[in-house]
């Protein structure tokens, strides 16, 4: 179920990665990013809200540490009014290990995440293993980049693991607005293929101030439309606030 404090937190905490989420890119020591997102969409199950928070940082030249938190809730609309539907989410702590790095190379990194997932606040152990590959190329319009993630995920309340292939593609330039495309897929044994497509605009917040002080020099706001196909189809609005540290 949607809670107003989630939206308030999304607007008050910040987040911007090295291309989209860090993925294959290793952070410098003491550097990193946080990403806070909020999605609201209507589906056959009712009004669905999703909150996500992602934070990582470079601990040493050899690995990064981070946290990945999500919560999803639905509100079913009917007579005489609305009532709460299913809730789900997870909390994971992860380590990223760089396998291949370099300015002119394809970046490769592995990630191991451990934590818990819940359905209606019934918690179960969960783990996730990821392999990421990313590359960027300078063009006359800016820095074109892409990142692919291959993910093996096992939730404690699921009989079989899930495989996921996710991609993020974007363009970094000197313009205030730039494009971003995010693709997520999920499949597994006895599980139908599900996917989502989210084209977005990234808006640089540098130059904006709050209470007379500039607070957004390394921040971006992303606004996108998410189309999701998972048993049923849904369309939602996704807003995220990013910041590099």
Tell me the two tokens of residue 3. 């809670």
Q: pTM here? A: 0.84
What is the distance between the alpha carbons of residues 243 and 238, in angstroms, rounded to a whole number? 17
Q: What is the pLDDT of residue 19?
A: 47
Q: What is the pLDDT of residue 43?
A: 78
**Exposed e or buried b per residue across 136-153, where buried means at least 16 C-beta atoms within 10 angstroms of its C-beta:** beeeeeeebbbbbbebeb
Tell me the H-state helices in the chain. 4-12
Q: What is the pLDDT of residue 79?
A: 46
Q: Largest Cα–Cα distance in the chain?
A: 61
Q: What is the pLDDT of residue 8?
A: 39
pLDDT tens digits, 99-117: 999 877 899 999 999 999 9
For every residue of 168-205, DSSP letters joined together read EEEEE-SSSEEEEEEEEEEEETTEEEEEEEEEEEEEE-
Q: What is the pLDDT of residue 80?
A: 52
Q: What is the pLDDT of residue 37?
A: 96
Can you tell me which residue has the tokens 């999803």? 72
Q: What is the mean pLDDT of each run of 10 residues along the chain (245 residues)?
A: 40 37 85 94 84 96 96 70 75 96 89 96 96 93 94 95 96 92 96 95 83 74 95 92 90
């Amino acid at each position: 179920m949607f809670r107003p404090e989630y939206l308030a937190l999304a607007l008050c905490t910040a987040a911007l990665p090295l291309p989209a989420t860090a993925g294959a890119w290793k952070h410098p020591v003491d550097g990193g990013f946080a990403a806070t997102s909020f999605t609201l969409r209507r589906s056959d199950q009712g009004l669905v809200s999703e909150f996500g928070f992602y934070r990582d940082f470079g601990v040493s030249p050899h690995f990064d540490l981070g946290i990945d938190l999500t919560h999803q809730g639905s509100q079913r609309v009917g007579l005489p009014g609305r009532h709460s539907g299913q809730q789900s989410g997870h909390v994971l702590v992860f380590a990223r290990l760089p396998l291949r790095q370099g300015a002119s190379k394809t970046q490769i990194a592995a990630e191991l995440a451990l934590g818990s997932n819940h359905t209606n606040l019934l918690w179960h152990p969960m783990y996730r293993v990821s392999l990421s590959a990313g590359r960027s190329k300078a063009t006359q319009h800016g820095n074109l980049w892409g990142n692919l993630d291959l993910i093996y995920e096992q939730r404690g309340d699921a009989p079989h693991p899930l495989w996921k292939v996710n991609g993020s593609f974007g363009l970094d330039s000197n313009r205030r607005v730039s494009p971003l495309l995010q693709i997520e897929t999920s499949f597994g044994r006895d599980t139908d293929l599900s996917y989502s497509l989210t084209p977005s605009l990234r808006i640089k917040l540098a130059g904006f101030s709050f209470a007379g002080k500039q607070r957004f020099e390394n921040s971006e706001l992303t606004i996108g439309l998410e189309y999701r196909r998972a048993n049923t189809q849904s369309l939602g609005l996704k807003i995220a606030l990013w910041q590099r540290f």
